Amino acid sequence: MTDTASATAGIRVTTSPRVSYRAAFWGLMVRDTKVLSRSLTQFLLRTVIQPFLFVFVFLYVFPNIGAGIHGPGVASFGTVLLPGLVAVAIMFQGIQAVGLPLVNEFAQTREIEDRVMAPLPTNMVAFEKILFGAMQSALAAVLVFPMVLFFPNSNVHPHVNPVLLVAEIIVACLSAGALGLAIGTGWNPRQVPLIFSLIVIPITFLGCIYYPWASLHTIRWLQIVILVNPLVYVSEGLRGAITPNLQHMPWPVSLGVLILIGAGLAWLGMRGFRKRVLG
C-alpha cells in the first residue's frame, strides 16, 4: 500500500471490533513474548534461584548438620515442600513479571502509553498483563516442579492427579497475574521496598509452603488469620493435586476460594489500571 492511497483508508476501520480487538491483543502478546525472550536469563535466574536455595538448605544442609526437619507424620519434608515451592514460584512470578514492571511503566517511563492507545478496550490491555503474567507463572511452575522432585534426597513420592493439577495451576497462575496487576497499579516506585516487606515476605512465610494448613490447628488463631492469604489456597490446592497423601484442604474449597480471590484481585487490578490510564 502506498502512502498516498492510504490517508483515509484505515485498514481496521472496515473490520469488525472482534477481529481488530483480537489482532491488537495478539500484538500485545507478541510484543511481550519478544521482550521476555530478550531477558530470558534474568527470568530463569529469578525463577530458579530462590526455590533452589530452599531445597538446598532444607533438604541438603539441614539433614547434613543434623538439623533435619520432618513433615507431619511419616511424610518427608520434601513432600511438604514440593507443592509449596511450586506455589510460591507461581505467586512470585505474578509480582515480579507484572507488578514491579508496571509500577515503573506508570510512574516514569510511560512506555505503556502506546499499548493503551491500541484499538482495543482498556480492560483487555489490563487482562493481557494478567494473561502474560500467568504464562510466566506457568513456566516457573514447570521449571520448579522437576527441580524439587529430582533433588537428591528430596524423597518425594507424588501421586499426581493430572486434571486437578492443570486446573489448580491455571487458576493459580491467573490469580498470580491478577495480584501482580493489583500491586502494579496500586503502588508507586517509592513504595517498592514496602511491597516486599508488607506483601511478599508475609505471603511467603504465612503461605503454608513449609507446613500443611491442617497442621496449624495447634495455633488456631494463626490458622484462621492466614486464610486471607491467597498463597494458602495455591499451596493447599497443589498439595491436593500432587501429594494428596498429605493433609490438605478439599480441592473444591481451595480452588473455589482461589477463584473468588483471583476474580477480586483482577477486578481491583483492572479498575486500578483504568484509573491510572484515564484522566
Partner 1 sequence: MAADAAVVVEKLSKHYRGPPPVDAVKSIDLEVARGEIFGLLGPNGAGKTTTVGMCTTRVVPTAGRVTVDGVDVRADPPGARGRIGVVTQFNTLDRSCTVFENLKYHCRYFGMNHRDAKARAAELLDTFRLADRADANVMALSGGMAQRLQVARSIAHRPVVLFLDEPTSGLDPQSRIALWEVLGALHDEGTTVILTTHYMEEADRLCDRLAIIDYGEILVMGTPDQLKRQVGVETVVTLTLDGDREGAVKALSVVAGVDRTEIVEGEVLVYLAEREGPLPAVVQAALAFGLVDLALTEPTLETVFIQLTGRALRD
Q: Residue numbers of the site for partner 1 (CB under 8 A)?
A: 1, 3-4, 6-13, 15, 17, 19-21, 23-24, 26-28, 30-31, 34-35, 38, 109-111, 113-122, 277-279
Q: How far is the CB of 42 from partner 1 (least distance, A)?
A: 12
Give the residue with the Cβ less far from partner 1, 97 or 242.
97
Give the residue with the Cβ less far from partner 1, 9 or 163.
9
Give the residue with the Cβ less far from partner 1, 27 or 158.
27
Give the residue with the Cβ less far from partner 1, 69 or 116.
116
Q: How far is the CB of 257 from partner 1 (least distance, A)?
A: 34
Q: How far is the CB of 38 from partner 1 (least distance, A)?
A: 8
Q: How far is the CB of 35 from partner 1 (least distance, A)?
A: 5
Q: How far is the CB of 11 from partner 1 (least distance, A)?
A: 6
CA 102 – CA 110 distance, rounded (Å):
10
CA 253 – CA 273 distance, rounded (Å):
30
Give the residue with the Cβ less far from partner 1, 65 or 278.
278
Cell 509449596 identifies what position?
A: 84
Give the residue with the Cβ less far from partner 1, 42 or 64.
42
What phi and psi values does residue 240 have, to the nearest 5 degrees? -65, -30
What phi and psi values does residue 222 have, to the nearest 5 degrees? -65, -40
Q: How far is the CB of 1 from partner 1 (least distance, A)?
A: 8
Give the residue with the Cβ less far from partner 1, 15 or 153.
15
Q: How far is the CB of 227 from partner 1 (least distance, A)?
A: 38
